[in-house]
Amino acid sequence: MDGSASGEENASIDWTTDDDLEILTETATSSPPKLITRDIEVIASNGEASSSAGVSHSMLVKQFVGMGFPEKMVSKVIEENGGDTDLILNTLLTYSNLELEDSPHQQLGSNSDPSSSDYNEAALDDLSDMDSRSEDETEEDTNPISEKHKRLLALENTGSLSEKEEKLLTLAKMGYSVEEAELAMERYGQEASIADLTDFIMAAQFAREECYQHEDDLKIPAFSSQQKHVYIGNSNKKKRKYLEMCKKKNAIEDEPIRLPNPMIGFGVPSQQPEHIPRSIPVEARGPPYFYYENVALAPKGVWDTISRFLYEIQPEFVDSKYFSATARKRGYIHNLPIENRFPLIPLPPMTISQAFPLSRRWWPSWDTRDKMNCIQTAIGSAKLTERIRMALERYDGDPPESVQKYVLEQCRKWNLVWVGRNKVAPLECDEVEMLLGFPRNHTRGGGISRTDRYKSLGNSFQVDTVAYHLSVLKDMYPDGINLLSLFSGIGGGEVALHRLGIRLKNVVSVEKSKANRDIVRSWWEQTNQTGELVDFDDIQTLDGEKLETIMNSIGRFDLVIGGSPCNNLAGSNRVSRDGLEGKESSLFYEYFRVLEIVKSYRG
């Protein structure tokens, strides 16, 4: 969706795409893959606060085991260090380093805190316990695996694994469950790459975080600690009922919709199906044409509802990785023709190495990414990149697989690129603009902070993708078009039309964010547009009388374009993922209301 939510004054990070992995606060960048340590607060009998240590401990164990560390080692390190995720990770990395050395005692002395003799002894005890299994003790005893996993291992020994089973086993060896791997493969198909499958599993894992970890989900006032104890802590029956309700709610919300594989909609420049059956209802046929966008992985039923309101037209699901070096999974509903589309020229870089050629020198062989993940509304912190550097500098050559896995997860999640030996960095604003198809320094025109520039870009269209769909308008409107741009954001639709060479005669832009409106106005002036730009700040005030007055002056609109806010649709939003009934995402109905007024205009 190419628009901002209604609460632009909200200083919290606005994770607004389903491709964004589950990160709840900026501080999440200071720890390994999101480690939840907040639990429902329970008050002990002496009146002092205590946490649900069992739940917190088990989730920490699960997260670090998923990174490739042995479960027994993880449990011991957590018992020693509590919930300090930084300390846990550093200790685990130290232990993993020790395993590679012939002399653990000598290596420990150089890597551990020299001021703590107790720490050295505890570390040796941990390693001794970890490696002192009896001959009868199996790997399954210390790190239980499912029956499906055992069956795959047995088939591997006989050399009779199918291609699908080989991928499942590969994912299982990476720390993911076979069930998760099967779900990912069901979604993307057996031909999907390991990178695509792991990206989906990671997104699903974060999306399924238990809702009782978020206090906002309790739907109760901000009680004091003692009041929470009375309301929740005293009744196991109430807690069980509440958790069952949460799990049921999550199960409904997290049920994935069926997406095409490959996600190319009605075709992309490199892949055009021979026959595309499509029927537009009579009442939906243009002009005026309309084009609506939102996140592909919305909650169950959302796209059915959107389609029902938009004349039963089925969505065209497209991943922008087929148009650029970055992924962006979106659904588009429109009544545009689909024949004779053409891409923007020059073609954008299609791989990371093409987009960032200077990074090739530092790119490690074990980082096999060739596409960036979906551009997010925030970036990784300096603390995160420093932690990665420190973890990698422990090793002269390639780090062990557990460290590689952790680093790759962070690089994918935060779109980090290699800028030096063992050094990664987040994308700069101008690099994000390039990946999304905007002109360099496009977002500087709003005079906003660097943080807000990332937010505006994260909520924008991917211009090359949208331009491909809109390209059919060029021959249809050789003299230019009248455009109604709803939830304009930073003007992705306007930029796409301009880059296609379609003159913008009159543009009515509706955008809540003043900063975004300023960006569009600045771009309008810098590109010497000859038409007229009129902007409004609230779609809810754009009633029939105003629209008719505008159309009586400039003529009817040729195109209505926009994507309503996806705040309540994105899988990253576990607090208010209320679908189209959410405060921000319910603005979809305003898009439909305005579209109906435009379509019914007979002036």
What are the catalytic residues? 566
Residue 348: is the preceding peptide bond cis (ω within 30°)?
no
SS (H, E, C) 259-284: CCCCCECCCECCECCCCCCCCCCHHH
Q: Is 205 helix (H, G, I), strand (E, B) or coil?
A: helix
CA-CA distance, 330 to 315, in Å (whole number)?
9
Nearest-CA neighbor of 372 among 340, 391, 349? 349
Residue with tokens 């076979």: 178
Other Cβ atoms closer than 10 A to 405:
20
> Which amino acid appears at position 124 of this protein?
L
Token pair of 6, please?
């209604």
Nearest-CA neighbor of 343 among 247, 271, 402? 271
> Alpha-carbon torsion 332, 336, 339, 344, what sign?
negative
For residues 3 and 487, is the Cβ–Cβ distance under 8 A?
A: yes
Residue with tokens 């300023």: 518
For residues 472 and 336, is the Cβ–Cβ distance under 8 A?
A: yes
Residue with tokens 């189209």: 580
CA-CA distance, 41 to 132, in Å (whole number)?
38
For every residue of 483-507, DSSP letters joined together read: EEEES-TTTHHHHHHHHTT--EEEE
Instruction: Report residue 518: phi and psi, to 5°.
Output: -65, -35
| H or E segment and range at residue 401 | helix 401-414
Residue with tokens 């409904």: 252
Rounded to a whole number, what is the distance in angstroms from the first to the last CA of the chain?
30
For residues 517 and 491, is the Cβ–Cβ distance under 8 A?
A: no
For residues 1 and 565, is the Cβ–Cβ distance under 8 A?
A: yes
Residues facing 14 on adjacent strands: none
Rg of the chain, C-alpha, whole Å: 26
The 8-class DSSP code of residue 345 comes to S
CA-CA distance, 376 to 18, in Å (whole number)?
10
For residues 346 and 325, is the Cβ–Cβ distance under 8 A?
A: no
Token pair of 525, please?
């002036």
CA-CA distance, 296 to 350, in Å (whole number)?
21
For residues 189 and 167, is the Cβ–Cβ distance under 8 A?
A: no
The residues, ordered by sequence, that sit 6+ positions from 274 with a Cβ below 8 Å of its Cβ are none
Q: How do 423-425 and 481-486 pair as beta strands?
A: unpaired
Token pair of 255, please?
């049920």
For residues 520 and 533, is the Cβ–Cβ distance under 8 A?
A: yes
Cα 589–chain centre separation: 25
